[in-house]
Amino acid sequence: MSKRKQFLESVHHEHVQDFLDFIRLHKDGADPFDLAEVLPELQRSQRQELWERQLKLLQHSLTAHPPERWITGAEEDAGDMEVEISEEQKGYMCTPHVLALLTEVAQGCLSHKAETQEDQSSLTIRILTNIFQKVVEIIAHRLRKDKEEGQELCCSSEEALYDFLLVTKFTTERSEFITGVFSSLSAAVIIDISRTLQKISHVEEMLTPETVNDLPPLSNTILKVTLKSPAVTMFFLSEISSSIESEVIDSITQWAAVTHILTIIKQSDAFIVELKEIALSVRRQIQRHYNITAENSANIQRSIYESTVRMLNDILNPCQQPNS
């Protein structure tokens, strides 16, 4: 049996391990099996069959192992007893594999959207983006429960997350898929940084981030992956801009979080126009909503406000120079 036929038959809930083995082979440069070459060679009927199989596999996997169990399963099984939790019980550890499966389904759905019914395609995209949001929430939850395990999960998920985001090349800006994916990512980073800022108890703790390594683990991972691709970075910035326009950001720590993101992206020496536009929007918002006076000089909120204004000025000033 040819590898192509074996791959098609592996996309079934009874052969999940075979399917994952093919995904690993695809990532192994020494192996001749390359999905990028195999998929275009499939006949239209075979591509349709593959897409339907992937969707059924995803639905079956999530029915058998719902994402909520990735978070609560091990803790509930443990109860009040001091027991050692096995690797098999740690459902969240399958996150990289779930991302790999999401990538394959998303690529099949988006690249052959014209060949499928609009309602079916739209439903699949909603399922994909909802599952992706849950995956991001699970990583964030693991970091809060156990920072060390959460950091390991971030590292193990980094490559799979990058592959998933590259699927955006099959769609266009403001599509349902783009909005769903990047709204989850931008919200996760803003909340992550904002929570870190809320824990500050002394003015001296206020620091301007210089690299992604100065951010908390989840934000570090998401921005590190995002900045690998200019196209992905543009989608991310576009969603940040939309969040500002929709006024869902409503606290000084969240405005500061956005400014932290802009400051990191500024280090790439790209996206000058986009950064300036977003920075101006942030400055207008905080000037409109935060009248924090000098009498509150010892207040942490004021320190965050002043730090945010300084970072915004650093972003805007180079952009306002002639011939920039």
Model confidence pLDDT, tens digit, residues 280-307: 999 998 887 666 544 555 578 888 888 9
Q: CB–CB of 67/134 below 8 Å? A: yes
Rounded to an integer, what distance in angstroms lies between the CA atom of residue 223 and that of residue 233? Answer: 9
Question: pLDDT tens across 25-37, in order?
Answer: 655 555 556 665 6
The half-sphere exposure of 214 on its side-chain side, counting CA atoms within 13 A, is: 15
pLDDT above 90: residue 209 = yes
pLDDT in tens, 163-192: 999 998 878 766 889 999 999 999 999 999
Q: How many residues does the chain have?
A: 324
pLDDT confidence of 139, banded at 50, 70, 90?
very high
CA-to-CA distance for 35 and 43, rounded, in angstroms?
A: 14
pLDDT at 256 over 90: yes
Domain segments of the chain: what residues?
A: 1-65, 95-107+121-316
Give the global pTM: 0.75
- What does the pLDDT read at residue 100? 84
Q: CA 223 to CA 186: how far, in whole Å?
A: 10
Per-residue pLDDT, averaged over 197-213, amounts to 88
Tokens at 185, concatenated: 């990512």
The more confident residue out of 228 and 34 is: 228
